[in-house]
Amino acid sequence: MPPRKKAAAPKRSVLIIGSEAVPFAKTGGLADVLGALPAALARLGWMVTVALPRYRGIQDGTLVERLPVTVGGVTADVRFFEAPTADGARALLVDCPELYDRETLYGAGGVDYPDNPRRFAVLVRAALEFAARGGSGPTIVHAHDWQAGLAPVYLKTLYAAHPVIGGTPSVFTIHNLAYQGTCEADWLPRLDLPWNLFTIEQLEYWGRISFLKGGINNAEIITTVSRKYAGEIQTPEVGAGFDGILRRRSADLVGIPNGIDVEQWDPSRDPFLPAAFSAEDLGGKAASKREVLAQYGLPVTDATMRRPLVGMISRMIDQKGFDLIAAIADDLPRLEATFVVLGTGEARYQQLWTALAAAHPDRVGARIGFDEPLAHLIEGGADIFLMPSRFEPCGLNQMYSLRYGTVPVVRGVGGLDDTVRDYSPRSTRSTGFVFHEYTGAALLEALRRALALYGDQRRWRTLQLAGMRQDYSWDRSAREYVKMYERAIKMVAGG
């Protein structure tokens, strides 16, 4: 028989499910990822749908469908609104006022809404029902964090034999291991889940059930937001009780670093900088430095312009290494450097910096608050950026720093280790300074190494330029996700 002409392959499609996405709803980094990744996947030729709740205040979208979604015997009347997003991707806003029309996304007064298991089970079920109602479902489902953790579970149970979406592979991404989505086991029937999932290999977690665990144990592939963090979360120190669960799946667990918004963070056209600069012409960087010093009320003189300016923008909490800063607080003003810090957080760390600034008004500037324009200006004007984190799933500021020719001094954990290459005089690929031991002394030593090299402007320039030429665009990360989608598809096809 002559070979039949192959029909053009249908466009591959991904159904992304998560609880927040820019520009619709944001409380953290997950929203940035779900705001940027869909467009990058669409640029690679994928059809992309991002399903999230239509929370209070979201006005976007056109009503495209209305379906009853029954979970645990209780039917919700769900309306679906579609809103186009960048580069041809679309958001699917799942509307169900009794579940999502609330003051905040996850809880009130520091306490989670008691019906969160139902709220996010309905989100997942609604997204899957919507996808299943046509003739062909998505090529893959990509679920994010515990709120979407039941998507891989439902695909393997309720929908396993579904004529349209049965057998659809899934990828599960962990952005924050600290949120594990646990609830009492008696939720199982209310979520349409059989009791045989109440085992240690499935959803059971210390006598309760965990949505996060469900996602990890049922997705074909699990990803997290940096390569190093993917290894670290398999250890008791960073695993937050999930290290054993993750070790069991280590063959299918990969790290894919987040990208950054290269439009918003671009020193050649950043409206918050007094002068543009780039790898080709770094001349304008000095104007930002001058402006930072001025805005912090630090002296603007030839001496302070020559002295390296060390910046830090961060939530002031232990995770970000502020206890290390506290340990070397007396040494900092004695270094040949000026320090500026921007952030909010624990009172003791805010006080530490304000006291340092008061005691050394010509050496240290502290600004307590959240200030996006100033954050851009510091990235533009600082020579060195400090990020001594205890742990860091991915981290963004070190990538902004690299793009702005601001040499990062970081602890070699998580995304910091993925993105910053420690200085070696023999390598032209070094981009910053990395220390490992979690001590003030190790941080101080790395900082001293950076300050010493700053004296050698030729070598310093090589370091800056190597960082500025790195690619941290979402396109790069999206290509890695596509590889994982393809691997998951093969895993299911191969039985």
Point out which residues bind ligand ADP (CB under 6 A).
Answer: 29, 313-315, 342-344, 370-372, 375, 395-397
Cβ proximity to ligand ADP, 29 vs 274, nearer residue: 29
- Compute the least distance from the CB of residue 405 to ligand ADP, in Å: 16
Cβ proximity to ligand ADP, 113 vs 272, nearer residue: 272
- Compute the least distance from the CB of residue 378 to ligand ADP, in Å: 9
Residues with Cβ within 8 Å of 277's Cβ and at least 6 positions away in sequence, in order, are 267, 268, 283, 284, 285, 288, 380, 405
Cβ proximity to ligand ADP, 202 vs 350, nearer residue: 350
- Compute the least distance from the CB of residue 448 to ligand ADP, in Å: 24
Cβ proximity to ligand ADP, 42 vs 366, nearer residue: 366
Q: How far apart are CA 403 and CA 122, in angstroms?
A: 41
Cβ proximity to ligand ADP, 309 vs 375, nearer residue: 375
Cβ proximity to ligand ADP, 269 vs 483, nearer residue: 269
Q: What tokens does 433 get?
A: 């300074």
Q: 147 φ, ψ to 5°?
A: -60, -30
Cβ proximity to ligand ADP, 252 vs 392, nearer residue: 392
- Compute the least distance from the CB of residue 41 to ligand ADP, in Å: 21
Cβ proximity to ligand ADP, 304 vs 319, nearer residue: 319
Cβ proximity to ligand ADP, 336 vs 370, nearer residue: 370
3-state secondary structure the chain: CCCCCCCCCCCCEEEEECCCECCCECCCHHHHHHHHHHHHHHHCCCEEEEEEECCCCCCCCEEEEEEEEEECCEEEEEEEEEEECHHHCEEEEEECHHHHCCCCCCEECCEECCCHHHHHHHHHHHHHHHHHCCCCCCCEEEEECHHHCHHHHHHHCCCCCCCCCCCCCEEEEECCCCCCCEEECCHHHHCCCCHHHCCCCCCEECCEEEHHHHHHHHCCEEEECCHHHHHHCCCCCCCCCCHHHHHHCHHHEEECCCCCCCCCCCCCCCCCCCCCCCCCCHHHHHHHHHHHHHHCCCCCCHHHHHCCEEEEECCECHHHCHHHHHHCCCCHHHCCCEEEEEECECHHHHHHHHHHHHHCCCCEEEEECCCHHHHHHHHHHCCEEEECCCCCCCCCHHHHHHHCCCEEEEECCHHHHHHCCECCCCCCCCCEEEECCCCHHHHHHHHHHHHHHHCCHHHHHHHHHHHHCCCCCHHHHHHHHHHHHHHHHHHHHCC
Cβ proximity to ligand ADP, 193 vs 260, nearer residue: 260
> In Å, how far are 77, 117, 214, 254, 377 from 399, measured between CA atoms?
44, 35, 32, 20, 15
Cβ proximity to ligand ADP, 61 vs 343, nearer residue: 343
Residues with Cβ within 8 Å of 64's Cβ and at least 6 positions away in sequence, in order, are 80, 81, 82
- Compute the least distance from the CB of residue 32 to ligand ADP, in Å: 8
- Compute the least distance from the CB of residue 128 to ligand ADP, in Å: 30
Task: List the one residue out of 57, 216, 202 whose CA is nearest residue 148.
Answer: 216
Task: List the one residue out of 239, 262, 271 whose CA is nearest residue 32.
Answer: 262
Cβ proximity to ligand ADP, 247 vs 315, nearer residue: 315
Cβ proximity to ligand ADP, 30 vs 183, nearer residue: 30
- Compute the least distance from the CB of residue 33 to ligand ADP, in Å: 11
- Compute the least distance from the CB of residue 380 to ligand ADP, in Å: 12
Q: What are the beta bridge partners of residue 65? A: 80
Residues with Cβ within 8 Å of 6's Cβ and at least 6 positions away in sequence, in order, are none
